[in-house]
Structure 1
Amino acid sequence: MPIQIIITEGLITKENAQKMHQAVGQAFLDNHQISDNRFMLPNIVGEVVFMDSELTFSGLKPSPLAIVELRVPSFTFGSQAQKDSFVREVTDIVLTHTGGTIDKESIWVNAVYAVEGLWGIAGKAYTNEELGEAIQQAS
């Protein structure tokens, strides 16, 4: 599941950004109780994008921020409790790895749901059903 973290430059070192991305991926796996899934582990992918401090905005003015965005199939985060838990945990992960250089109010976490049948992995377009089966078979 692609994870993109967009963060203002200077809030975190590259080493801590790598650890933060890894921790967010692990939080996703743990949240869905698939931490050891052979299909999912290699498909936790993504990047950390550092943005110039003059090019990140909140309240219509330049401001430090962190945005954690996942692209996921529509069957993920099936309950509000699961969503609440994930957002809370990821916010704490960002706060921990940035060492107090950003306020909680400047951290956003969201998920974008992929269109049914257009979840491509290794050249194959999976439907939600096929993706679910692949995850189950790899348990």
Structure 2
Amino acid sequence: MPITLTIPEGLLDPQAQSQAFAELTDALLEVAELTGNSFMTANVVGSLNVLPRHHVFAGGKPAPAAFVELKLPEIALATPEAKRAFIEAATDIVEKAAGGRLRRDHIWTNIVYAAEGAWGIAGQAYAGSDLVAAVQQSAAQHFA
């Protein structure tokens, strides 16, 4: 489940970048109620885009801003409450990591869904039911 964090250079030092990404991962797993599930944990992946300051915009002008994008299969975070919980957690995480160098209203988060059957892991296309089965199998192995 890729997370993309895009920020301007200088906003977060390397340690804060790593910490923020780890916290975004944990927030996703917590909101999805999958903390400790080895299948899901291994498949929360992502990237950090650190752009030159003059390449990040708000209101059409260069500005300190951060963008969090989460890509998921259609079955994940399907409820409005789950979406709100992740967006709130992501905003809190990035705001804290920026240590006062970023206004809260300059943090945007969006959630994008892949079409049914269009989620690929290790070359295998997963439908929603396939992902649920993999998560359940991982949970069963954990508690066995």
User: How far apart, CA to CA, are the structure 2 residues paired with 1:23 and 1:90?
Assistant: 8
The equivalences for 1:33-72 within 5 A come to 33-72=33-72
User: How far apart, CA to CA, are the structure 2 residues paired with 1:70 and 1:55?
Assistant: 21
SS at match of 2:35: coil
SS at match of 2:39: coil
User: How far apart, CA to CA, are the structure 2 residues paired with 1:126 and 1:78?
Assistant: 17
In proportion to residue count, which structure has more helix?
A: 2
Counterpart for residue 103 of structure 1: 103
What is the CA-CA distance between 1:104 and the residue it aligns to? 0.4
User: How far apart, CA to CA, are the structure 1 residues paired with 2:118 and 2:75?
Assistant: 14
Q: Alpha carbon RMSD of aligned pairs, Å?
A: 0.9
Runs (4+) of structure 1 exceeding 2 A deviation are: none
Counterpart for residue 130 of structure 1: 130
What is the CA-CA distance between 1:64 and the residue it aligns to? 1.2
What is the CA-CA distance between 1:29 and the residue it aligns to? 0.2
TM-score (normalizing by structure 2): 0.93
Counterpart for residue 116 of structure 2: 116
Q: How many pairs align?
A: 139
SS at match of 1:138: helix
What is the CA-CA distance between 1:105 and the residue it aligns to? 0.5
Identity %: 37
Deviations 1:103-126 (CA, angstroms, capped at 9, x unpaired): 001001111101211111111111
What is the CA-CA distance between 1:78 and the residue it aligns to? 2.1
Could you tell me which runs of 5 or more consecutive residues in structure 1 were left unpaired when the two chains were aligned.
none
Deviations 1:41-82 (CA, angstroms, capped at 9, x unpaired): 111111111011111111111111100101101111222122
What is the CA-CA distance between 1:128 and the residue it aligns to? 1.3
Counterpart for residue 142 of structure 2: none
